[in-house]
Amino acid sequence: MSAVLVLNADFGPLHRVSLRHAIRMLFRQVAVVHEAQPDATIGVYQVPTVVRLVSYVVTRWRHGRGPGWSRAGVLTRDARVCAYCGAPASTIDHVLPRSRGGANEWSNTVAACHRCNNRKGDRTPAEARMPLRMTPRAPLWSAFA
């Protein structure tokens, strides 16, 4: 199943949903097809690639703070690239280790490969002589849309 982009009534991007969810939105008349695959239909509906909501949805809550911290979010933010060596990353590393009071926060975690994560261990990047290639910071909602 392909993902379908959902636009707000003012044409601002909100998020992506499954094709099945998009068809349900069309059936309930909550959304209309904005863009569709040519010559492809499901029943009476065109197969949508982009749908637009009929009524505006207030997203004020998104402007106050960014998305909540998660391991998957850190890997997505860093594009699965190790913050120490640039190799493909599959783990996260705490800049200030948790054993020293480091928290699960956007500004304290980076994506890391297994090799660098093990090499750094329970030390800070300065103590391990492993400088960060980027400064960790909280992402915006638009980075996940």
| pLDDT tens figures, 66-103 | 778 899 999 999 999 999 999 999 999 999 999 999 99
Domain ranges of the chain: 3-55, 67-137
CATH code linked to domain 67-137: 1.10.30.50
pTM: 0.58
Nearest to 133 by CA among 97, 101, 85, 100: 85
**Cα–Cα distance list, 41 to 2, 13, 26, 84, 88 (Å):** 14, 24, 13, 48, 39
d(Cα 145, Cα 135) in Å, to the nearest integer? 22
| Distances from the Cα of 29 to the Cα of 23, 106, 144, angstroms | 10, 38, 26
- Give the integer Cα–Cα distance in Å for 47 and 42: 6
The tens digit of pLDDT for each residue in 110-132 reads: 999 999 999 999 999 999 999 99
Q: For 4-34, how does the pLDDT look when each residue is reduced to its tens digit (9 = 90+)?
A: 999 999 988 888 999 999 999 999 999 999 9
Angle in degrees, CA 133, 72, 85, rounded to 5: 20
Helix/strand/coil percent split, the chain, to 5: 30, 30, 45
